[in-house]
């Protein structure tokens, strides 16, 4: 017998769902699962009611729809996302059931009223484009069956002239309402998504250097590397601007800021696909060399040293000055478990060896 979920696990589950619902793709998938489950249950209940009221033909229709929604739910859960196939099953099921309602009238002409809920919720569950297409097709069915001579010949329940005239108008009104709500939701969603991206960028970016910051490293790179067995060779390095205090004291703190920004730009220019860099703190930077063999690490470090050497800066008095950096690098060979604390200690130790050896060089051994 399974143990019931604890309050903490339930809360974690809810928080995870709420986070995922900010993604429209997951939201459509989640809503489709809920909708299919709900419609399957409602149609099954209606089927039972139709049995007791001797509505055999209607019972077959609602039972068919219930089975279709249940199958679609199983497909959704199996695939894990709302595919075009799932949407097609849902739409075909809707067309068949509502077409049946329009032709037969269901129970005393009441069943077509179920169609009225479609415009309001169709776009919310299917999205603006697909929901719009669904509603246009459904409206065409309504107009054809209720308002054309060919459609009226198909009717097995005679709706009144007033009903045939008013029903399409009500359908259009609910469609317009649903479309407005969906547009408001879409505009709001896009604005919130943009604000969320800006907040994440602000939280993970160092404003001065425009590199990632320590928070980004802790959230992204630390989890990727720490206590993990490397499946390929890579390396990390700590980079420190030489005599940075002197730069501030002699050329001013604004020039120090320019030196930090220029160094960050030089490091970023040396990054390749898969590499990552961040401002470690103060005048220190951290670099991750992705898929970097051991014999390539010195060349990668020398590339950074050479790029920084080319920097030319001018202080507020018009005096030109240059900067250099020192680097301590550590290789992370494939097949070895990475313990970042030990890696940091090794990189830091090699950085100070580079400083003591005259600066403007990289130590990797």
Position 12 scores a pLDDT of: 62
Per-residue confidence band for 1, with pLDDT thresholds at 50, 70 and 90: very low
Band (2; pLDDT cuts 50, 70, 90):
very low
* pLDDT, tens only, 274-322: 999 999 889 999 999 999 999 999 999 999 999 999 999 999 889 999 9
For the residues 216-222, what does the mean pLDDT come to?
Answer: 82
| Residue 236: closest CA among 282, 302, 301, 307 | 301
Residue 104 has pLDDT above 50, yes or no: yes
pLDDT at 14: 60
Is the pLDDT at 353 greater than 90, yes or no? Answer: yes
For residue range 171-200, what is the model confidence (pLDDT) as tens digits? 888 888 888 888 888 888 888 888 888 888
- 267 has a pLDDT exceeding 90: yes
- C-beta atoms surrounding 271 within 10 Å: 18
For every residue of 235-289, DSSP letters joined together read EEEEEEETTHHHHHHHH-HHHHHHHHHHHHHHHHHT--TT-EEEEEETTEEEEEE
pLDDT digits (tens, 9 = 90+) for 223-259: 778 888 888 999 999 999 999 999 999 999 999 999 9
pLDDT band at 201 (very low <50, low <70, confident <90, very high): confident
Distance, in Å, from the CA atom of 237 to the CA atom of 362, rounded to the nearest integer, reads 9
- Provide the angle, in degrees to the nearest 10, between the axes of the packed helices 24-52 and 7-20: 110
**Lookup result for tokens 């709500």:** 181
pTM of the complete model: 0.61
**Is the pLDDT assigned to residue 206 strictly greater than 70?**
yes
CB count, 10 Å around CB of 124?
17
Q: Alpha carbon of 166 to those of 23, 59, 80, 148: distances in Å?
A: 39, 28, 41, 14
- Band of the pLDDT at 9, cuts 50, 70, 90? low
pLDDT tens-digit series, residues 22-75: 777 788 888 888 888 998 999 899 899 888 888 888 888 889 989 999 999 998
Length of the chain: 365
10 pLDDT above the threshold of 70: no
pLDDT tens track for 108-148 = 778 888 778 777 777 777 778 888 888 888 889 899 999 99
Lowest pLDDT segment from 119-123, 130-134, 157-161, 332-336: 119-123
3-state secondary structure 26-45: HHHHHHHHHHHHHHHHHHHH
CB contact at 8 A, 329 and 235 = yes
Q: Is the pLDDT of residue 350 over 80?
A: yes
The pLDDT, as a whole number, for residue 202 is 84
> Which pLDDT band holds residue 260 (cuts at 50, 70, 90)?
very high
């Amino acid at each position: 017998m399974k143990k019931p979920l604890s309050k903490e696990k339930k809360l974690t589950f809810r928080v995870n769902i709420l986070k995922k619902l900010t993604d429209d793709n997951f939201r459509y998938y989640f809503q489709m699962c809920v909708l299919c489950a709900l419609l399957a249950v409602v149609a099954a209940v209606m089927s039972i009611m139709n049995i007791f009221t001797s509505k055999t033909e209607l019972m077959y229709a609602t039972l068919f729809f219930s089975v279709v929604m249940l199958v679609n739910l199983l497909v959704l859960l199996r695939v894990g996302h709302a595919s075009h196939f799932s949407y097609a099953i849902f739409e075909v099921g809707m067309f068949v059931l509502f077409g049946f309602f329009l032709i037969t009238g269901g129970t005393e002409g009441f069943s077509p009223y179920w169609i009225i809920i479609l415009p309001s919720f169709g776009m919310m569950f299917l999205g603006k484009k697909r929901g719009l297409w669904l509603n246009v097709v459904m409206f065409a069915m309504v107009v054809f069956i209720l308002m054309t001579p060919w459609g009226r010949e198909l009717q097995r329940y005679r709706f009144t002239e007033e009903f045939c005239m008013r029903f399409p108008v009500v359908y259009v009104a609910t469609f317009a309402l649903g479309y407005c709500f969906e547009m408001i939701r879409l505009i709001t969603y896009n604005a919130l998504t943009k604000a969320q991206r800006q907040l994440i960028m602000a939280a993970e970016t160092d404003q001065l250097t425009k590199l990632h910051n320590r928070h980004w490293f802790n959230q992204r790179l630390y989890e990727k590397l720490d206590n993990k067995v490397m499946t390929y060779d890579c390396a990390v390095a700590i980079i420190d601007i030489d005599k940075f205090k002197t730069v501030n004291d002699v050329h001013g703190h604004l020039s120090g800021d320019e030196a930090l920004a220029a160094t960050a730009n030089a490091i970023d220019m040396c990054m390749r696909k898969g590499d990552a860099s961040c401002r470690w703190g103060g005048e220190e930077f951290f670099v991750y060399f992705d898929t970097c063999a051991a014999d390539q690490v010195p060349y990668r470090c020398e590339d950074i040293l050479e790029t920084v050497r080319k920097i030319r800066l001018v202080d507020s008095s018009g005096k030109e000055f240059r900067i250099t950096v020192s680097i301590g690098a550590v290789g992370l060979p494939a097949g070895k478990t990475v313990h970042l604390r030990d890696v940091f200690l090794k990189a830091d130790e090699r950085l100070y060896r580079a400083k003591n050896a005259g600066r403007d060089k990289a130590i990797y051994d």
